[in-house]
Amino acid sequence: MPSPQMTPGSRGTIIPIGGAEDKINDRRILQRFVDVSGGTDARIVVIPTASELNSTGPKYEKIFRSLGVAEVHVLDYRERADTDNPELLALLDDATGAFMTGGNQLRLSTILGGTLVARALRRRNAAGMTVAGTSAGAAFVSEHMIAHGRTGATPRAGAVSVAAGLGLTNRIIVDQHFRQRDRLGRLLTALAYNPFVLGFGLDEDTAAFIRGDRVVEIVGAGAITVVDVSELDYSGMADAREGAPVDLIGVRLHVLTDGATFDLDSRKATAPPKEPRPAE
């Protein structure tokens, strides 16, 4: 469960990113992460645990330094024993922004789950620290995490495996590379098991900036598919045999692009502001 906020509205921004965010040209999402983490005064920690590549942490360190951040540290947790390192914990406790890279989300849950690092991330986010994750890192931010599943648009019994995530929020479940990898069916399947949460399907180079007031801002080149099953009339999951398609009646779906917002409390979406028409 998320740590309680120190004061109302004090929770730091939570930023799941759909993966493949622009790292070369305008870098809008990464720049916005830096901005909400303190700008040039930000103290950023990079957590590359999901990746098995030694180059992942230094790559993001270089990117954030090029965006004007003077203090960037890579917290290279490779084994559960690494999470007890007091020097790395001190850097995390002092950070204003934490960034979890892509890779395999089960590496994040099995290495960080239940450790002092996971507790520190929840505690510091409740106190105002920004926490972002891309691809596997995005899947890990919520209480319920999609571990893996089948592609396709139709929900099917057994089509997805759900594991425990970091627990920064219990209001959403995230799927990444959404349109690019045809993942609507597995997100619907996950929601059929637990109609309490909202489903956020994030396209690549697209992020949900979940503010402390529980309003979500969409930033990026693609879209976020928000699936709301709070008014679900019927789910056939309990009676479906393994691999069979599942009936879901009463699903609401929103497709939101850059500049749109979504209120997690009221479950209301708002379209992006209209661009002024050019003068003739």
Q: From the candidates 37, 51, 109, 135, give the one annotated as an active-site residue.
A: 135
Tell me the two tokens of residue 1: 């469960």
Q: The whole model's pTM is what?
A: 0.95
Evaluated on CA atoms 86, 128, 18, 115, the torsion sign reads: positive
pLDDT digits (tens, 9 = 90+) for 157-192: 999 999 999 999 999 999 999 999 999 999 999 999
Q: Which of 59, 166, 34, 167 is nearest to 111 (CA)?
A: 166
Residue 1's pLDDT band (cuts 50, 70, 90): low
Residue 34's pLDDT band (cuts 50, 70, 90): very high
Spatial distance between the Cα atoms of 245 and 106, rounded to a whole number of angstroms = 26
**Helix (H) or strand (E) segment spanning residue 189:** helix 184-193
- Is residue 37 flagged as an active site residue? no
Residue 10's pLDDT band (cuts 50, 70, 90): confident
pLDDT at 216 over 60: yes
Q: Domain boundaries in the chain?
A: 14-259
Pairing mode of beta strands 261-263, 252-257? unpaired
Main-chain phi, psi angles of 216, to 5 degrees: -105, 130
Compute the mean pLDDT over every residue in the chain, rounded to the nearest whole number. 95
Tell me the two tokens of residue 165: 């995530």
Spatial distance between the Cα atoms of 16 and 169, rounded to a whole number of angstroms = 11
Looking at residues 119-135, what average pLDDT do you find?
A: 98
Spatial distance between the Cα atoms of 256 and 93, rounded to a whole number of angstroms = 34
- Is residue 55 flagged as an active site residue? no
Task: Give yes or no for a contact between 11 and 128, defined as CB atoms under 8 angstroms apart.
Answer: yes
Q: From the candidates 61, 109, 144, 177, give the one annotated as an active-site residue.
A: 177
Task: Give yes or no for a contact between 47 and 98, defined as CB atoms under 8 angstroms apart.
Answer: yes
Q: DSSP code of 117?
A: H
Spatial distance between the Cα atoms of 133 and 73, rounded to a whole number of angstroms = 16
Task: Give yes or no for a contact between 30 and 90, defined as CB atoms under 8 angstroms apart.
Answer: no
Q: Determine the pLDDT at residue 276.
A: 78
- Is residue 177 flagged as an active site residue? yes
Q: Which CATH architecture has domain 14-259?
A: 3-Layer(aba) Sandwich (3.40)
Q: From the candidates 204, 217, 235, 254, give the one annotated as an active-site residue.
A: 204
CB atoms within 10 A of CB 75: 22
User: Does residue 215 come out as left (phi exceeding 0), alpha (psi in the -120 to 50 range) or beta?
Assistant: beta
**Helix (H) or strand (E) segment spanning residue 56:** helix 56-66
